[in-house]
Amino acid sequence: MQCQWLNNHPNQVSDASLSHLKDKQATEPLAATPVHFKTQFVGYMEMYSDADTVANYLNAHQGWFCRCAAPMKTEAIGNNGYILTVGRFGSFGYEVEPKLAVVLEPPVNGVYEMHSIPIPDEPYLGYEVDYQASMTIKEIPRHLSSPGLEKAFKKQNKGQVPNMITKVEWQLAMDVAVQFPKFIHKLPLSMIQRTGDRLLTQIVRQISPRLTQKVQEDFHTGQNLPIPPKTSRHLEKIEEVALEQAA
Protein backbone atom coordinates (compact mmCIF):
# COMPACT_ATOMS: atom_id res chain seq x y z
CA MET A 1 0.00 0.00 0.00
CA GLN A 2 1.62 3.23 -1.13
CA CYS A 3 0.24 6.72 -0.62
CA GLN A 4 1.58 10.13 -1.57
CA TRP A 5 0.57 12.90 0.77
CA LEU A 6 0.44 15.86 -1.58
CA ASN A 7 -0.67 15.27 -5.15
CA ASN A 8 -1.06 18.43 -7.23
CA HIS A 9 -0.76 20.60 -4.15
CA PRO A 10 0.13 24.21 -5.02
CA ASN A 11 2.94 24.15 -2.44
CA GLN A 12 4.28 20.76 -3.51
CA VAL A 13 8.05 20.65 -3.83
CA SER A 14 9.68 19.71 -7.13
CA ASP A 15 10.81 16.19 -8.12
CA ALA A 16 14.44 17.27 -7.83
CA SER A 17 13.82 18.59 -4.32
CA LEU A 18 12.05 15.35 -3.34
CA SER A 19 15.03 13.34 -4.53
CA HIS A 20 17.35 15.52 -2.49
CA LEU A 21 15.15 15.22 0.59
CA LYS A 22 14.95 11.45 0.24
CA ASP A 23 18.74 11.22 0.28
CA LYS A 24 18.74 13.14 3.56
CA GLN A 25 16.20 10.88 5.29
CA ALA A 26 18.77 8.27 6.26
CA THR A 27 21.39 10.75 7.48
CA GLU A 28 19.69 13.70 9.16
CA PRO A 29 18.73 13.37 12.85
CA LEU A 30 15.16 13.58 14.08
CA ALA A 31 13.79 16.84 15.41
CA ALA A 32 13.22 16.93 19.15
CA THR A 33 9.56 17.99 18.98
CA PRO A 34 7.07 15.54 17.41
CA VAL A 35 4.13 16.65 15.28
CA HIS A 36 0.75 15.23 16.30
CA PHE A 37 -1.80 14.11 13.72
CA LYS A 38 -5.32 13.24 14.85
CA THR A 39 -8.58 11.84 13.52
CA GLN A 40 -11.83 10.42 14.94
CA PHE A 41 -14.55 8.24 13.42
CA VAL A 42 -17.82 6.53 14.29
CA GLY A 43 -19.31 3.55 12.47
CA TYR A 44 -21.49 0.47 12.62
CA MET A 45 -22.26 -2.85 10.97
CA GLU A 46 -25.38 -5.00 11.09
CA MET A 47 -25.56 -8.77 11.52
CA TYR A 48 -28.36 -11.22 10.68
CA SER A 49 -28.19 -12.82 14.12
CA ASP A 50 -28.91 -12.38 17.81
CA ALA A 51 -26.60 -10.39 20.09
CA ASP A 52 -25.38 -13.40 22.08
CA THR A 53 -24.19 -15.22 18.95
CA VAL A 54 -22.43 -12.11 17.68
CA ALA A 55 -20.84 -11.53 21.10
CA ASN A 56 -19.53 -15.10 21.23
CA TYR A 57 -17.94 -14.61 17.82
CA LEU A 58 -16.34 -11.31 18.74
CA ASN A 59 -15.04 -12.72 22.04
CA ALA A 60 -13.21 -15.48 20.15
CA HIS A 61 -11.07 -12.96 18.23
CA GLN A 62 -8.13 -15.38 18.15
CA GLY A 63 -10.05 -17.19 15.42
CA TRP A 64 -10.93 -14.28 13.15
CA PHE A 65 -8.78 -11.20 13.80
CA CYS A 66 -5.68 -12.14 11.84
CA ARG A 67 -7.47 -13.49 8.78
CA CYS A 68 -9.88 -10.55 8.65
CA ALA A 69 -7.06 -8.01 9.05
CA ALA A 70 -5.31 -9.30 5.92
CA PRO A 71 -3.58 -8.02 3.81
CA MET A 72 -2.12 -6.18 6.79
CA LYS A 73 0.62 -8.17 8.46
CA THR A 74 -0.46 -9.35 11.91
CA GLU A 75 1.29 -11.03 14.80
CA ALA A 76 -0.47 -12.24 17.94
CA ILE A 77 1.00 -11.18 21.29
CA GLY A 78 -0.30 -12.71 24.50
CA ASN A 79 -3.93 -13.80 24.71
CA ASN A 80 -5.60 -10.67 23.41
CA GLY A 81 -3.04 -8.52 21.64
CA TYR A 82 -1.84 -8.07 18.07
CA ILE A 83 0.91 -6.22 16.24
CA LEU A 84 -0.29 -4.70 12.96
CA THR A 85 1.87 -3.46 10.10
CA VAL A 86 -0.37 -1.06 8.22
CA GLY A 87 1.60 -0.38 5.01
CA ARG A 88 4.15 2.08 3.62
CA PHE A 89 3.27 5.76 3.44
CA GLY A 90 5.27 8.90 2.76
CA SER A 91 5.70 12.38 1.40
CA PHE A 92 8.41 15.00 0.93
CA GLY A 93 10.86 12.12 0.46
CA TYR A 94 10.17 10.79 3.99
CA GLU A 95 8.61 7.32 4.27
CA VAL A 96 7.43 5.19 7.18
CA GLU A 97 5.82 1.77 7.51
CA PRO A 98 3.49 2.29 10.47
CA LYS A 99 3.22 -0.47 13.04
CA LEU A 100 1.10 -0.54 16.16
CA ALA A 101 0.30 -3.00 18.91
CA VAL A 102 -3.32 -3.22 20.07
CA VAL A 103 -5.12 -5.04 22.86
CA LEU A 104 -8.74 -6.22 22.65
CA GLU A 105 -10.09 -6.13 26.18
CA PRO A 106 -12.85 -8.53 27.31
CA PRO A 107 -16.26 -6.82 27.30
CA VAL A 108 -17.43 -4.98 30.40
CA ASN A 109 -21.18 -4.38 30.66
CA GLY A 110 -21.46 -5.04 26.93
CA VAL A 111 -18.74 -2.53 25.98
CA TYR A 112 -15.62 -3.72 24.16
CA GLU A 113 -12.51 -1.59 24.53
CA MET A 114 -9.51 -1.69 22.19
CA HIS A 115 -6.37 0.36 22.73
CA SER A 116 -2.76 0.62 21.67
CA ILE A 117 0.22 -0.44 23.78
CA PRO A 118 3.98 -0.06 23.24
CA ILE A 119 5.29 -2.58 20.72
CA PRO A 120 7.14 -5.24 22.73
CA ASP A 121 10.90 -5.53 22.16
CA GLU A 122 10.78 -2.88 19.43
CA PRO A 123 13.18 0.07 19.23
CA TYR A 124 11.73 3.56 18.92
CA LEU A 125 10.61 3.97 15.32
CA GLY A 126 10.34 7.76 15.23
CA TYR A 127 6.60 7.81 15.90
CA GLU A 128 4.08 6.83 18.56
CA VAL A 129 0.49 5.72 17.93
CA ASP A 130 -2.27 6.31 20.47
CA TYR A 131 -5.28 4.28 19.30
CA GLN A 132 -8.48 4.18 21.37
CA ALA A 133 -11.70 2.47 20.30
CA SER A 134 -14.87 1.21 21.93
CA MET A 135 -17.62 -1.01 20.56
CA THR A 136 -21.11 -1.94 21.70
CA ILE A 137 -23.60 -4.49 20.40
CA LYS A 138 -27.37 -4.34 20.64
CA GLU A 139 -30.37 -6.05 19.11
CA ILE A 140 -32.72 -3.90 17.03
CA PRO A 141 -36.01 -4.68 15.23
CA ARG A 142 -35.49 -5.45 11.55
CA HIS A 143 -37.65 -2.48 10.52
CA LEU A 144 -35.02 -0.19 12.06
CA SER A 145 -32.20 -1.77 10.06
CA SER A 146 -30.48 -0.18 7.08
CA PRO A 147 -32.29 0.02 3.73
CA GLY A 148 -31.80 -3.10 1.62
CA LEU A 149 -30.96 -5.44 4.51
CA GLU A 150 -34.21 -7.41 4.32
CA LYS A 151 -34.18 -7.48 0.51
CA ALA A 152 -30.63 -8.83 0.42
CA PHE A 153 -31.56 -11.61 2.85
CA LYS A 154 -34.51 -12.77 0.74
CA LYS A 155 -32.57 -12.43 -2.51
CA GLN A 156 -30.11 -15.06 -1.33
CA ASN A 157 -33.00 -17.51 -0.81
CA LYS A 158 -32.57 -17.70 2.95
CA GLY A 159 -36.23 -17.16 3.79
CA GLN A 160 -37.54 -14.51 6.15
CA VAL A 161 -35.12 -12.10 7.80
CA PRO A 162 -35.09 -12.47 11.62
CA ASN A 163 -37.38 -10.13 13.54
CA MET A 164 -34.39 -8.91 15.53
CA ILE A 165 -30.89 -8.32 14.20
CA THR A 166 -27.68 -7.14 15.87
CA LYS A 167 -26.13 -3.74 15.35
CA VAL A 168 -22.44 -3.34 16.23
CA GLU A 169 -21.54 0.30 16.82
CA TRP A 170 -18.07 1.72 17.43
CA GLN A 171 -16.06 4.89 17.78
CA LEU A 172 -12.33 5.30 17.36
CA ALA A 173 -9.74 8.01 17.88
CA MET A 174 -6.13 8.11 16.72
CA ASP A 175 -3.30 10.42 17.71
CA VAL A 176 -0.02 9.78 15.89
CA ALA A 177 3.05 11.69 17.06
CA VAL A 178 5.82 11.73 14.43
CA GLN A 179 9.38 12.91 14.95
CA PHE A 180 10.38 14.01 11.47
CA PRO A 181 13.97 14.56 10.33
CA LYS A 182 14.94 18.18 10.83
CA PHE A 183 14.81 18.93 7.10
CA ILE A 184 11.03 18.32 7.08
CA HIS A 185 10.60 21.18 9.56
CA LYS A 186 11.93 23.55 6.93
CA LEU A 187 8.49 23.22 5.35
CA PRO A 188 5.57 25.25 6.77
CA LEU A 189 4.15 23.56 9.86
CA SER A 190 0.60 24.23 8.63
CA MET A 191 1.34 22.26 5.45
CA ILE A 192 2.79 19.35 7.42
CA GLN A 193 -0.19 19.40 9.81
CA ARG A 194 -2.88 19.47 7.10
CA THR A 195 -1.13 16.81 5.06
CA GLY A 196 -0.60 14.48 8.02
CA ASP A 197 -4.17 14.82 9.29
CA ARG A 198 -5.47 14.13 5.80
CA LEU A 199 -3.24 11.09 5.37
CA LEU A 200 -4.26 9.64 8.74
CA THR A 201 -7.91 10.05 7.81
CA GLN A 202 -7.23 8.39 4.46
CA ILE A 203 -5.60 5.40 6.14
CA VAL A 204 -8.64 4.86 8.38
CA ARG A 205 -11.01 5.21 5.41
CA GLN A 206 -9.04 2.55 3.55
CA ILE A 207 -8.62 0.03 6.36
CA SER A 208 -11.80 0.24 8.47
CA PRO A 209 -14.41 -0.50 5.75
CA ARG A 210 -12.33 -3.41 4.44
CA LEU A 211 -11.96 -4.88 7.92
CA THR A 212 -15.68 -4.42 8.61
CA GLN A 213 -16.67 -6.19 5.40
CA LYS A 214 -14.33 -9.10 6.09
CA VAL A 215 -15.67 -9.52 9.63
CA GLN A 216 -19.24 -9.53 8.32
CA GLU A 217 -18.39 -12.09 5.64
CA ASP A 218 -16.43 -14.27 8.07
CA PHE A 219 -19.22 -14.29 10.67
CA HIS A 220 -22.12 -14.88 8.29
CA THR A 221 -20.31 -17.57 6.29
CA GLY A 222 -19.56 -19.43 9.50
CA GLN A 223 -23.22 -19.18 10.55
CA ASN A 224 -24.50 -20.18 7.07
CA LEU A 225 -26.24 -16.83 6.75
CA PRO A 226 -26.49 -14.39 3.82
CA ILE A 227 -23.83 -11.70 3.52
CA PRO A 228 -25.33 -8.29 4.45
CA PRO A 229 -25.28 -5.62 1.71
CA LYS A 230 -22.97 -2.61 1.64
CA THR A 231 -25.74 -0.44 3.13
CA SER A 232 -25.36 -2.36 6.40
CA ARG A 233 -21.90 -0.84 6.97
CA HIS A 234 -21.19 2.78 7.79
CA LEU A 235 -18.15 4.90 8.62
CA GLU A 236 -18.19 8.62 9.33
CA LYS A 237 -15.46 11.05 10.30
CA ILE A 238 -16.17 13.25 13.30
CA GLU A 239 -15.23 16.80 12.44
CA GLU A 240 -13.61 19.07 15.02
CA VAL A 241 -16.48 21.57 14.71
CA ALA A 242 -18.97 18.88 15.75
CA LEU A 243 -16.76 17.89 18.68
CA GLU A 244 -16.51 21.49 19.90
CA GLN A 245 -20.29 21.96 19.67
CA ALA A 246 -20.87 18.71 21.57
CA ALA A 247 -18.53 19.87 24.33
Name the residue ranges covered by the structural domains of the chain.
Answer: 2-246
Residue 21 reports pLDDT greater than 60: no
Could you tell me which residues come within 8 angstroms of residue 52 by beta carbon, excluding any fewer than 6 positions away?
none
Top-ranked range on mean pLDDT: pick from 53-62, 122-131, 152-161: 53-62
User: What does the longest C-alpha to C-alpha distance in the chain come to?
Assistant: 64
CATH number for 2-246 (one of 3.40.50.10330, 3.30.530.20, 3.60.10.10, 3.20.170.30): it is 3.30.530.20
Burial of 103 (0-12, 13-18, 19+ CB in 10 A): middle
Provide the pLDDT for residue 161.
80
Report whether pLDDT(18) > 90.
no
Q: Which of 20-29, 205-214, 216-225 has the lowest average pLDDT?
A: 20-29
pTM across the whole model? 0.80
In this predicted model, what pLDDT tens digit does every residue of 151-190 receive, in sequence order?
Answer: 888 887 767 788 999 999 999 999 999 888 888 888 899 9
